[in-house]
Amino acid sequence: MNTTSTNNPFVVGQWVRGEKFFGRAEIIAELLFGPRQAVWVAALRRMGKTSLLREVERRVLQNAESNFLALYWDLEGAIDDITLRESLLAAVEESASGLRVETSWENLSTPEVLRKIQQKAKSRQRAVLLLCDEAEALLTVAQNDSHLLARLRRALQSENVRCVLTATRRLTVLETFDEAGTSPFLQGFVPPLYLPPLRETEIQPLLAQAGFSLETRKELFQRSGGHPFLLQLLAKRTLEYGDLAGAYQHLQHDETLHNFFTVDFNTLQPTEKSLLQQCAQGDGLSLRGTSNTEARVALQTLLALGLLAEQNDHLRVRLPLFQDWLQRQSPPQAAQKTIFHSEELKPGERVGPYEILHEIARGGMGIVYCARDVHLQRLAAVKVLHAELLGDEQHRARFLSEARAAAQFQHPHVATIYAIEFKGETPCLCMEHVEGQRLEQWAKQAHLTFAQKLTLAQQIASALAAAHAAGLIHRDLKPSNIMVRKDGMAKLLDFGIARRLTAATRLTRTGQMLGTLAYMSPEQASNLEADARSDVFSFGVVLYELFTGKPAFTAENELALAYSIINENPPPPDAENPALPHALAELLMSMLAKPPQKRPANGQAVSKILEELIELL
């Protein structure tokens, strides 16, 4: 085997570029021909993001019939408008697309230069294919000039432009900037298109170039997990050592690789770290057996990133070298399952004056028990934060925030908060016990009339109206959080993720989506800021299902469902149920508008329209 030949891709280095590029056919097709005009390709470091963009550019340039004018733009090092413009002008100069920088462009802002490029492309009857690499630079730009970022977004998502950003998931930090105009930047680019490890069929031709035997090629794939950088490194060391087992053992103790994994691990969210650590320790997690919404979203993200793989309905760490690294980490470096511990409550146990009777339900943040107040001799519901979430101080803070926010708010159609008690270090929220059916059960009754459904909808709308007027948003509206008593009175439960609109501290971490996904607004599914209009969207999803009998959004998995919520519209409700009044159908579709500004502004606006519809009955 010749290890010094210039034809050996593992010695030359740029082994996934140009004619030596392998795989990624589906992703390239999506970027060139997919329905989305703005795409964020998200991946771990060294996963081949730059090579992907360069390959897309090459294919466009080689296709004389392409409708695109391709421009590769490296944003690395940009900090403001001047450096952004300089990098863009350099990209134009280096491009083989035939574009040339005009002298007047040097005095323009970056968005203005982009518009000039767009005009040039249009004169050639082409669309601009803007391939923006190292987009994490926009984080620095946002810190220095958020207004520039807002104008840049409009230029990148304008007519006749198809824009692809590549960045790690650090790009979601853009959500944390409070300046007006910054948060919407990602709205057109999410959900991200994840760049996973290579499949075995994609890398076999590449490995064959180096003369590896079929058996060695299979083992190289298994030990690298298909990660391009790990595959290159392991193949290169195997050529140097002449022995795959020896090369793998050497990499297990390689300091450079240790640092590589450390950086990647630290880009993950705490929930993702904890779940990844559990999989590395062989805890046998499975998607099917995970009911916690936040955990399911985290597991789906880890699968999409290529850090986990599914095997026989169980999840395992996909990259053996990374699993070895995880298993060697000390507790301060690797996420721990819990810091605090709490036992599930059993009948007869006391929480303050509340005696536990039985469990009612389990949700995304906690377990709800039916209890009796031994002093007042009345039933109560006691909600306890999930034990596995107590290790996160921000979950504890969010839980306590729920009590403070909800206790200050009283409404006949909202469950009343009585008190907050503690069982050891476990906080317990004690509230009104509502006997009846959850909305999804109540709605299945065959005898229900349109008037009954409309009345119930207006009751919930009035509760939202009062909450929004008090500066509160619910952020977790779904049928299971609405109870209907035997007398037909609706009660809105679980302001479990509520917070004041004016709160300075944002408890939700970047990258974490709360609430049940099927009822999330596009902003929540995109990890962007949510306000009262987010509640309006979620309420619209609930009402769509109530009045049509069908969910507004469906998909095979969480990632596909997020895409549907953000990009697709459900069928008109009066098409699903022709008996619906046109005015109600119009209201529902306005509540489900993708841009928040096109929805009713708050619960008051929805309540008013529903009241008018009731008066027409």
* Contact criterion met (CB below 8 Å) for 208 and 22: no
**How many residues does this entry show for the chain?**
617
What is the location of CATH 1.10.10 in the chain? 212-328
Question: Does residue 13 have a pLDDT over 80?
Answer: no
Question: Does residue 84 have a pLDDT over 50?
Answer: yes
Please compute the mean of the pLDDT values over residues 199-207 and round it to a whole number.
Answer: 86
Question: Does residue 610 have a pLDDT over 50?
Answer: yes
Nearest to 417 by CA among 462, 381, 468, 376: 381
CATH 3.40.30.10 holds for 437-615: no
Distance of CA 438 to the CA centre of its chain: 28
Q: What is the distance between the alpha carbons of residues 421 and 384, in angstroms, rounded to a whole number?
A: 10
Sheet with 193-194, edge to edge strand ranges: 68-74, 127-133, 161-167, 38-42, 193-194
Helix, strand, coil percentages (3-state) for the chain, rounded to 5, are 50, 15, 40
What is the location of CATH 3.40.50.300 in the chain? 25-194
Q: For residues 439-452, b (16+ Cβ closer than 10 Å) or e, as one string?
A: beebbeeeeeeeee
Sequence-distant (6+) residues with CB within 8 A of 515 are 293, 364, 475, 476, 477, 478, 497, 524, 538
Average confidence score pLDDT of the chain? 84
Provide the whole-model pTM. 0.67
The predicted pLDDT at position 282 comes to: 79
Question: Does residue 440 have a pLDDT over 50?
Answer: yes
Query: Fold for domain 350-432?
Result: Phosphorylase Kinase; domain 1 (3.30.200)
Q: What is the distance between the alpha carbons of residues 227 and 224, in angstroms, rounded to a whole number?
A: 6
CA-CA-CA-CA torsion sign (235, 239, 245, 249): negative
pLDDT band at residue 540 using 50, 70 and 90 as cut-offs? very high
* Contact criterion met (CB below 8 Å) for 225 and 318: yes
The CATH class, in words, for 25-194 is: alpha beta
pLDDT band at residue 555 using 50, 70 and 90 as cut-offs? confident
The predicted pLDDT at position 495 comes to: 66
Beta-sheet strands, E only, within 237-351:
308-311, 314-317, 350-351
pLDDT, tens digit, 9 for 90 and up, residues 585-597: 999 999 999 988 8
pLDDT, tens digit, 9 for 90 and up, residues 135-184: 999 989 988 887 888 889 889 988 899 999 999 877 877 765 545 444 45
The predicted pLDDT at position 339 comes to: 35
Q: What is the distance between the alpha carbons of residues 69 and 63, in angstroms, rounded to a whole number?
A: 11
Task: Point out the least confidently predicted range of 317-331, 358-372, 387-401, 431-445.
Answer: 387-401
Q: What is the distance between the alpha carbons of residues 540 and 489, in angstroms, rounded to a whole number?
A: 20
The predicted pLDDT at position 293 comes to: 65
Please compute the mean of the pLDDT values over residues 498-512 and round it to a whole number.
Answer: 38
pLDDT band at residue 386 using 50, 70 and 90 as cut-offs? low
For the record, the structure tokens of 143 come out as 């810190």
pLDDT band at residue 32 using 50, 70 and 90 as cut-offs? very high
CA distance readout (Å), 10 to 200, 207, 258, 579: 17, 9, 21, 66
pLDDT band at residue 10 using 50, 70 and 90 as cut-offs? low
SS3 326: helix
Instruction: Look at 57 and 269; give whichever has higher pLDDT.
Output: 57
Question: Does residue 460 have a pLDDT over 60?
Answer: yes
Please compute the mean of the pLDDT values over residues 323-330 and round it to a whole number.
Answer: 85
Instruction: Look at 162 and 567; give whichever has higher pLDDT.
Output: 162
Task: Point out the least confidently predicted range of 170-174, 358-362, 437-441.
Answer: 170-174
Whether 476 is catalytic is yes
DSSP 519: G
Question: Does residue 472 have a pLDDT over 60?
Answer: yes
The single residue of 74, 476, 535, 574 carrying the catalytic annotation is 476
* CATH ID of 212-328, from 1.10.10, 1.25.40, 3.30.450, 3.30.70: 1.10.10
pLDDT, tens digit, 9 for 90 and up, residues 407-418: 778 899 999 888
Question: Does residue 132 have a pLDDT over 90?
Answer: yes
Task: Point out the least confidently predicted range of 8-22, 225-239, 539-553.
Answer: 8-22
Tell me whether strands 472-473 and 426-432 are parallel, antiparallel or unpaired.
unpaired
DSSP 166: E
Nearest to 510 by CA among 526, 498, 533: 526
